[in-house]
Structure 1
Amino acid sequence: MVHSNASFDTWTSALAISRYRLGVPLIRTKHNVKRIRTNWTNRWYYGKAINHLIAPSHAVVEDLQRSEIISNEKINYIPYGIPIDKIEIYRNGRSDARRALEIPDDAEVVAYISRLTRRKDPATLVRAALQVAKTRPNLRLLVVGGGDAGLRAELEDIAAGSSVVEFWGHRDDVPRILAATDIFVLPSLTEAFGLAPLEAMLQGVATIVSDAEGFRDFVEDGINGLVFPKGDIAALAHAIERVFSDVELRNKIAVAGECTVRERFFAERMVDDIEKLYCRVLDK
């Protein structure tokens, strides 16, 4: 049996299995939301060469079903899980984390912790933060992550003249940053799933995400996080203001978010589901 995680790997495996008539089952995990073209090569690839597809979110399931060249029997919904026991949780508390990061105790901290890519739309967050800061002068937005240097320059231009937005680049102390954070935001335009919000939720940070398709699997608006229409600056600003203004809401979604991750999105559950699929495939 071969289990691949990328298009090139799956194609080369499929061609080798077919060419040499190996009769080896082929499984692929599809990690993105991208329209599948219904040409003859994909009809062979998805229709005959691949035995099973793993979709980590309902968004990916729907993407596969829309192609109309993949039977439902081949599609297996197995959401990602994170290794909870191995993820470092900062245990020294918020005040200690802020002291180490030189963040004032009275600062209202919003964090974006992810790669800088246009797909994740950090520009909407920067603009929303600048809007919120007009009435909340202690607001600070930490933009954490490497990536597109051109995009970073554009974001710096948007925030020019303001002390609200800080660009921290790639960091190895993300657990400490999360411990110092009041609100985590990921405003993606499209997302197959989204592991960064899960890690923030695990650390008990109130989380706001866009309504990008992949977040639907684990964020329920007003229950364990807040959801805003992607690209909507005013709506995101309102969500940030709402969380800061309502301490009860902030605590509620933070606690519920952590419970969501611990109860449903842990690595052992994902591994168990994949092993069950392996057994079904090999039993045939």
Structure 2
Amino acid sequence: MKTIQIINVRWFNATAWYGLYLARMLRDAGHETLVITEPDTAADAKAREWGFSPLHFDLNSSNPVRLLRAYSELRKLVTEFSPDIVNCHRGEGFILWGLLRKALGTFKLVRTRGDQRLPKNNLPNRWLHTNVADAVVATNSVMAKHFISTLHVPEEKVSTILGGVDTDKFVYSSEGRTDFRKKLGFDDSDFVVAMLGRFDEVKGQKELIEAVAKLYHEKGMKNLRLMLLGFDSATSQEEVESWIAVNNLQEINRITGKVDDVAAAISAMDLGVIASKWSETIARAAFEIMACERPLISTGVGVMPDFMDDEAMFEAGNVDALAAAIERAATDEVYRKRILRSQQKEIATLSGTNFLEKTLDLYRAL
């Protein structure tokens, strides 16, 4: 099968990861795959790192002349490459692909929606998703329901595909756990609470720091340690460090920055936390933590309720609820093992192989 994956995202965020990981699996499975990215961006660099030679078109422009030129160039690409499937992972430029789909009729058009913002219920969106796209992929059930109930996309055209994780790469390592904890100055008696993700208000680092401080200073849980497996993004490390200082957690906190062996760093956790206040439309960090057999607690935003048990979730933005969830996981081994078993059953269906096969089933049906 021949596909074009449109991943015109500036950052290597969850949307870019979803599209590029799918492209890589398609390519590795023997399907001829082209990738279109925005030049000189983090997503473009990652595509090159993964062995692609990404193509560039002016899809994100609002200039009519430049869009007309892009349309002409894309038409030439479609004529020469003759794809079976074109999959748009972003909305910018989707109108051009819709017009090409109508004009040529030589390929099937898929729109994958991994953005946290629900699409607006307007005439162009309804036309594109209902009458032009051959299929819509939602990365969580909330998004799928919005397409069906609000934009009135026929239910049979909407598929929910959560994504997947590379279960060959993300594997628990006892040796990696020991080495990474030693590097951070943690020992076996420490209970390491950790968050994996870029520094951003949406991710809830501030709330996690405050929750750990409550338990450490007010509840006397002196074996707690905090690991922030992340780096500067919308929020600077300096600001994160100021929150740590205000809460007097400098001695028990470690910020890792970027690490070479992410699986080893995840293995060093005793409890993973997703404290996101919104977003999480694609659960990359959660899948990686679960694949490394670490118990996970989470807010109930975005895609999280699609695979998390209710008893492993807490209210978003509520520091007291987060502290209570951490305390329960740290002190109740039976509970911790129970949520871990449940999450291991879920992650068994969320491998990269499952992700690829679900997508290929859709492509073949089209």
TM-score (norm 2): 0.70
Matched, 1:56 2:139: yes
* Secondary structure in structure 2 of the residue aligned to 1:85: coil
Matched, 1:4 2:92: no
CA distance in 2, matches of 1:150, 1:271: 33
CA distance in 1, matches of 2:121, 2:335: 46
**190-199 or 148-157, which moves further after superposition?**
148-157
CA distance in 2, matches of 1:150, 1:36: 26
Of 274, 277, 281 in structure 2, the residue corresponding to residue 186 of structure 1 is 274
Per the TM alignment, residue 275 of structure 1 is displaced from its structure 2 partner at its CA by 1.5
Matched, 1:123 2:209: no
CA distance in 1, matches of 2:124, 2:302: 27
Matched, 1:16 2:105: no
Look up the match of 1:271: 356
CA distance in 1, matches of 2:364, 2:270: 44
CA distance in 2, matches of 1:63, 1:151: 34
Per the TM alignment, residue 171 of structure 1 is displaced from its structure 2 partner at its CA by 1.9
| Unaligned stretches of 5+ residues in structure 1 | none
Look up the match of 1:227: 313
CA distance in 2, matches of 1:255, 1:99: 27
Equivalences for residues 1-284 of structure 1 within 5 A: 1-18=85-102, 20-92=103-175, 94-134=177-217, 135-148=220-233, 150-160=235-245, 161-162=248-249, 163-190=251-278, 191-222=280-311, 226-262=312-348, 264-281=349-366
Aligned amino acid, residue 88 of structure 2: S
Per the TM alignment, residue 84 of structure 1 is displaced from its structure 2 partner at its CA by 1.2
Per the TM alignment, residue 95 of structure 1 is displaced from its structure 2 partner at its CA by 3.4
**Residues 173 and 93 from structure 1, CA distance in 2 versus in 1: closer, same or farther, beyond 3 angstroms?**
closer
Q: How many residues align?
A: 276
Alignment RMSD (CA, Å): 2.0
* Secondary structure in structure 2 of the residue aligned to 1:142: strand
CA distance in 2, matches of 1:59, 1:152: 32
* Secondary structure in structure 1 of the residue aligned to 2:148: helix
% identical equivalent positions: 25
TM-score (norm 1): 0.89
1:87-114 per-residue CA deviation (whole Å, 9 max, x = no partner) reads 3542426434422443222222111111
1:3-37 per-residue CA deviation (whole Å, 9 max, x = no partner) reads 2222225333223333x433422012111232222
Q: Which has the higher contact order (CA 8 A, sep 6+)?
A: 1
CA distance in 2, matches of 1:94, 1:33: 33
Aligned amino acid, residue 128 of structure 2: Y
| Unaligned stretches of 5+ residues in structure 2 | 1-84
Query: Residues 206 and 253 of structure 1 are in contact (CA less than 8 Å); yes or no, is this contact kept in structure 2?
Result: yes
